[in-house]
Protein backbone atom coordinates (compact mmCIF):
# COMPACT_ATOMS: atom_id res chain seq x y z
CA UNK A 1 0.00 0.00 0.00
CA UNK A 2 1.47 3.28 -1.07
CA UNK A 3 1.01 6.43 0.95
CA UNK A 4 -1.77 8.62 -0.45
CA UNK A 5 -1.45 11.23 2.25
CA UNK A 6 1.08 12.40 4.79
CA UNK A 7 0.08 12.38 8.46
CA UNK A 8 -0.30 16.16 8.30
CA UNK A 9 -2.61 15.89 5.26
CA UNK A 10 -4.71 13.30 7.08
CA UNK A 11 -5.02 15.64 10.07
CA UNK A 12 -6.29 18.36 7.73
CA UNK A 13 -8.78 15.96 6.13
CA UNK A 14 -10.30 15.01 9.49
CA UNK A 15 -10.67 18.70 10.39
CA UNK A 16 -13.06 19.10 7.43
CA UNK A 17 -16.78 18.41 7.59
CA UNK A 18 -18.24 15.34 5.95
CA UNK A 19 -20.01 16.04 2.68
CA UNK A 20 -20.27 15.08 -0.98
CA UNK A 21 -16.63 14.02 -1.19
CA UNK A 22 -15.78 12.92 2.37
CA UNK A 23 -17.16 10.31 4.79
CA UNK A 24 -15.89 9.31 8.25
CA UNK A 25 -16.70 6.08 10.08
CA UNK A 26 -15.76 5.13 13.62
CA UNK A 27 -15.03 1.42 13.79
CA UNK A 28 -16.03 1.02 17.44
CA UNK A 29 -19.34 -0.05 18.93
CA UNK A 30 -19.60 2.46 21.76
CA UNK A 31 -22.84 0.97 23.07
CA UNK A 32 -20.85 -2.05 24.30
CA UNK A 33 -19.15 -1.92 27.70
CA UNK A 34 -16.26 -1.91 27.17
CA UNK A 35 -16.41 -0.59 23.58
CA UNK A 36 -15.50 -3.19 20.94
CA UNK A 37 -14.71 -3.13 17.25
CA UNK A 38 -17.63 -3.36 14.86
CA UNK A 39 -18.44 -6.69 13.28
CA UNK A 40 -16.23 -7.18 10.20
CA UNK A 41 -19.22 -7.90 7.97
CA UNK A 42 -20.84 -4.61 9.00
CA UNK A 43 -17.62 -2.78 8.08
CA UNK A 44 -17.36 -4.58 4.71
CA UNK A 45 -21.01 -3.75 3.93
CA UNK A 46 -20.43 -0.11 4.85
CA UNK A 47 -17.32 0.09 2.66
CA UNK A 48 -19.14 -1.47 -0.31
CA UNK A 49 -22.04 0.98 -0.04
CA UNK A 50 -19.86 4.07 0.43
CA UNK A 51 -17.38 3.21 -2.33
CA UNK A 52 -20.22 2.51 -4.79
CA UNK A 53 -21.93 5.76 -3.78
CA UNK A 54 -18.75 7.80 -4.31
CA UNK A 55 -18.02 6.01 -7.61
CA UNK A 56 -21.56 6.71 -8.85
CA UNK A 57 -21.22 10.40 -8.02
CA UNK A 58 -18.00 12.38 -8.39
CA UNK A 59 -15.60 10.26 -6.31
CA UNK A 60 -14.49 10.92 -2.75
CA UNK A 61 -12.56 9.72 0.28
CA UNK A 62 -13.69 7.31 2.97
CA UNK A 63 -11.81 7.58 6.28
CA UNK A 64 -12.29 4.66 8.68
CA UNK A 65 -11.29 5.09 12.30
CA UNK A 66 -12.64 8.63 12.60
CA UNK A 67 -15.99 9.56 14.15
CA UNK A 68 -18.49 11.88 12.44
CA UNK A 69 -17.21 14.83 14.49
CA UNK A 70 -13.62 14.27 13.29
CA UNK A 71 -12.31 12.55 16.43
CA UNK A 72 -9.63 10.02 15.54
CA UNK A 73 -10.83 6.82 17.19
CA UNK A 74 -8.60 4.32 15.38
CA UNK A 75 -9.42 0.65 14.98
CA UNK A 76 -8.54 -2.64 16.60
CA UNK A 77 -8.48 -5.01 13.61
CA UNK A 78 -5.62 -7.32 12.67
CA UNK A 79 -3.77 -6.81 9.37
CA UNK A 80 -5.74 -9.65 7.73
CA UNK A 81 -9.03 -7.82 8.38
CA UNK A 82 -7.59 -4.60 6.96
CA UNK A 83 -6.65 -6.49 3.76
CA UNK A 84 -10.26 -7.81 3.59
CA UNK A 85 -11.61 -4.27 3.96
CA UNK A 86 -9.35 -2.92 1.22
CA UNK A 87 -10.39 -5.78 -1.13
CA UNK A 88 -14.12 -5.00 -0.87
CA UNK A 89 -14.32 -2.60 -3.87
CA UNK A 90 -12.98 -5.25 -6.23
CA UNK A 91 -14.80 -8.21 -4.68
CA UNK A 92 -18.25 -6.85 -3.86
CA UNK A 93 -18.93 -4.22 -6.52
CA UNK A 94 -20.07 -4.72 -10.10
CA UNK A 95 -18.20 -3.58 -12.03
CA UNK A 96 -15.24 -3.71 -9.70
CA UNK A 97 -13.90 -0.32 -8.64
CA UNK A 98 -10.17 0.32 -8.42
CA UNK A 99 -9.47 2.45 -5.38
CA UNK A 100 -6.34 3.67 -3.65
CA UNK A 101 -5.97 2.55 -0.04
CA UNK A 102 -3.76 3.60 2.84
CA UNK A 103 -3.31 2.45 6.41
CA UNK A 104 -1.76 5.17 8.57
CA UNK A 105 -1.13 6.02 12.18
CA UNK A 106 -2.30 9.43 13.35
CA UNK A 107 -2.01 10.55 16.96
CA UNK A 108 -1.12 6.98 17.94
CA UNK A 109 -4.26 5.52 16.36
CA UNK A 110 -4.60 3.44 13.20
CA UNK A 111 -6.83 4.86 10.47
CA UNK A 112 -7.74 3.53 7.03
CA UNK A 113 -8.27 5.71 3.97
CA UNK A 114 -9.93 4.71 0.71
CA UNK A 115 -9.78 7.16 -2.18
CA UNK A 116 -12.52 6.49 -4.73
CA UNK A 117 -12.52 7.83 -8.30
CA UNK A 118 -15.62 8.68 -10.29
CA UNK A 119 -16.53 5.55 -12.29
CA UNK A 120 -17.58 5.71 -15.95
CA UNK A 121 -20.28 3.03 -15.45
CA UNK A 122 -22.99 2.73 -12.79
CA UNK A 123 -21.61 0.68 -9.90
CA UNK A 124 -23.79 -1.78 -8.02
CA UNK A 125 -23.29 -3.46 -4.67
CA UNK A 126 -23.91 -7.16 -5.32
CA UNK A 127 -27.59 -7.75 -4.54
CA UNK A 128 -28.15 -4.30 -3.04
CA UNK A 129 -28.81 -1.86 -5.88
CA UNK A 130 -27.01 1.29 -7.00
CA UNK A 131 -26.07 3.69 -4.18
CA UNK A 132 -24.86 7.19 -4.97
CA UNK A 133 -23.73 10.17 -2.96
CA UNK A 134 -25.93 13.26 -2.49
CA UNK A 135 -24.30 15.74 -0.13
CA UNK A 136 -23.39 13.81 3.01
CA UNK A 137 -25.98 11.05 2.44
CA UNK A 138 -26.20 7.87 0.38
CA UNK A 139 -29.29 7.42 -1.74
CA UNK A 140 -30.11 3.95 -3.12
CA UNK A 141 -31.69 3.20 -6.46
CA UNK A 142 -33.08 -0.33 -6.99
CA UNK A 143 -31.37 -2.72 -9.38
Taking a C-beta distance cutoff of 8 angstroms, is the pair 100, 61 a contact?
no
Cα 10 to Cα 8: distance, rounded to the nearest angstrom: 5
**Which of 84, 102, 4, 10 is closest to 48 using CA atoms?**
84
Query: Among 57-66, 93-102, 131-140, which stretch is predicted with the lowest mean pLDDT?
Result: 131-140
Pairing status of strand 22-25 against strand 60-64:
parallel
Query: Alpha carbon 127 to chain centroid distance?
Result: 19
| Model pLDDT for residues 74-95, shown as the tens digit of each residue | 999 999 999 999 999 999 999 9
141: confidence class by pLDDT, cuts 50, 70, 90: confident
Q: What is the mean pLDDT of residues 7-12?
A: 97
pTM of the shown model: 0.89
Amino acid sequence: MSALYTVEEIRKIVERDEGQFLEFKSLWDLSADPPRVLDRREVRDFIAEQVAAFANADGGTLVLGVSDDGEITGHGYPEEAVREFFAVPERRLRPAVRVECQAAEVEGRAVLLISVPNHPEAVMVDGDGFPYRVGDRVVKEPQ
